[in-house]
Amino acid sequence: MLVTVEELGKTSLYPEIIQKITRGDNSGAELQILAAESLVRSYMSKYNLDAIFGTTETLPTFTGSDVNLIKKIVKIIASYYLVRMANPNVNIELFRADYEDALDWLKDLQAGNVNPDLPYKSDNSESSDSEISDVYFNSLPKQNNFF
Mean pLDDT, range 132-140, rounded to an integer: 65
pLDDT of residue 37: 92
Q: What is the domain partition of the chain in residue ranges? A: 5-120
* CA-wise closest residue to 76 among 50, 103, 47: 103
The whole-angstrom distance between residue 99's C-alpha and the CA centroid of its chain comes to 12
Report helix, strand or coil for 47: strand
Asked whether the beta carbons of 102 and 76 are under 8 A apart, the reply is yes
Q: Is residue 111 pLDDT above 90, yes or no? A: no
* CA-wise closest residue to 110 among 38, 40, 36: 40
Q: Is residue 130 pLDDT above 70, yes or no? A: no
Between residues 146 and 93, the one the model is more confident about: 93
> Concatenated DSSP letters for 65-90?
TTHHHHHHHHHHHHHHHHHHH--SS-
How do residues 59-109 score in pLDDT, each as one tens digit? 888 888 888 899 999 999 999 998 888 877 778 888 899 999 999 999 999
* CA-wise closest residue to 81 among 67, 65, 95: 95
Mean pLDDT, range 126-136, rounded to an integer: 54
pLDDT of residue 128: 53
Report CA dihedral (88, 90, 94, 96) to the nearest 10 degrees: 0
**pLDDT class for 43, splitting at 50, 70, 90?**
very high
Q: Measured between alpha carbons, how far is 3 from 46 in angstroms, rounded to an integer?
A: 21
Mean pLDDT, range 25-31, rounded to an integer: 87
**pLDDT class for 135, splitting at 50, 70, 90?**
low
pLDDT of residue 137: 66
pLDDT of residue 38: 92
pLDDT of residue 136: 58
pLDDT of residue 126: 61
- Predicted model pTM: 0.77
